Structure 1
Amino acid sequence: MIGMDTIGLKLAQKLVTAALDKAATDYGRPICVSVCDAFGFALSFARNDDAPVRSIAISQGKAYSSARIGVNTDVWLGRLGQANFQANYFCDPQLTALPGGAVVTSANGKVLGAVGISGLAPHEDQAIANAIAELATENSTQ
């Protein structure tokens, strides 16, 4: 469930399960998935057996970055490139622009949290993250 200002634990856990299922169904490969609240703080995490260990921190960074910046990480990467900026210019070592982070918003566009996926190719990570963020938004209106 989504509270007034952020994703709740129950919904975060459902989103993690949905992401693991989607990765298995669509790609047949292991991932790490992180879901955070509107402030970027972790709510739920899972790592498939055999998912790369490096993907733990990467998935967490992608979720954090989407929540803090307020856009999906692939979008932010594009904006950084257009401005000839780097993520480290923002003085926050947890930020990453690697594709695979998706922001969860309310119906009126308020940031409620984010999901981060790592373990696949960046465009595959982003595809899963986008689908799971959309699922979260659908759940917020029910």
Structure 2
Amino acid sequence: MQSLTLSQAQELLAHGVDQMRHYPGKTACFSVCDQHGFLISFSRMDGAPVRSIQLAQQKAYTCARIGTSTDAFLARLRREDIPITYFCDPLLTALPGGAVLIDKQGSILGGVGVSGLAPTEDQAIADKLAAIMSGSDNQKT
């Protein structure tokens, strides 16, 4: 299994900032972590909410540690009526806006987190970035 490089993480963050053109006047934070949940790179747009700094990082962390998107994690918690505290990890979050980064072979490379917009918008951008990383999004727009 390959590891994410700093260059790949920074390129992904640049794609995230580029996606913000679809949300005029809004700002966000973007985070990429490795397969263990450790931060590789982070980007905060000018004017992005301070609360979004930690949220973006925890969304990326959660995806890497749990192996699923944060919106799917939230759905599981609701479906199974499980408190998030059962996982004994205070860094986990079920707030939508995180996606798992996988390679073309399906191995988990890490996670990406987006925070600053509505949760569904954060999730849409995170999913787009994950698709770019996996190669399933050839347009990169």
Question: TM tier, shorter chain?
Answer: over 0.9
The letter for the 1-side match of 2:114 is I
SS in 1 for 2:100: strand
Is 1:67 the equivalent of 2:60? no
Output the aligned Cα RMSD: 1.1
Displacement of 1:107 in angstroms is: 2.3
Q: Distance in 2 between matches of 1:108 and 1:86?
A: 33
TM-score computed with the length of structure 2 as normaliser: 0.92
Displacement of 1:30 in angstroms is: 0.4
Contact 1:42-1:60 at 8 Å conserved across structures: yes
Q: Distance in 2 between matches of 1:124 and 1:86?
A: 24
Q: Distance in 2 between matches of 1:89 and 1:135?
A: 33
Of 6, 23, 36, the residue aligned with 1:39 is 36
Contact 1:102-1:129 at 8 Å conserved across structures: yes
Higher deviation after alignment, 102-111 or 26-35:
102-111
Aligned to 1:27: 23
Count of matched residue pairs: 135
Of 111, 114, 135, the residue aligned with 2:111 is 114
Aligned to 1:57: 54
Displacement of 1:26 in angstroms is: 1.0
Displacement of 1:88 in angstroms is: 1.6
Contact 1:6-1:111 at 8 Å conserved across structures: no
Q: Distance in 2 between matches of 1:109 and 1:96?
A: 23
Displacement of 1:135 in angstroms is: 0.5
Q: Distance in 2 between matches of 1:86 and 1:49?
A: 35
Aligned to 2:78: 81
Q: Distance in 2 between matches of 1:100 and 1:127?
A: 7
Aligned to 2:139: none
The letter for the 1-side match of 2:55 is I
SS in 1 for 2:135: helix
Structure 2 stretches lacking a partner, 5+ long: 137-141
The letter for the 1-side match of 2:107 is K
Q: Distance in 1 between matches of 2:135 and 2:9?
A: 13
Structure 1 stretches lacking a partner, 5+ long: none
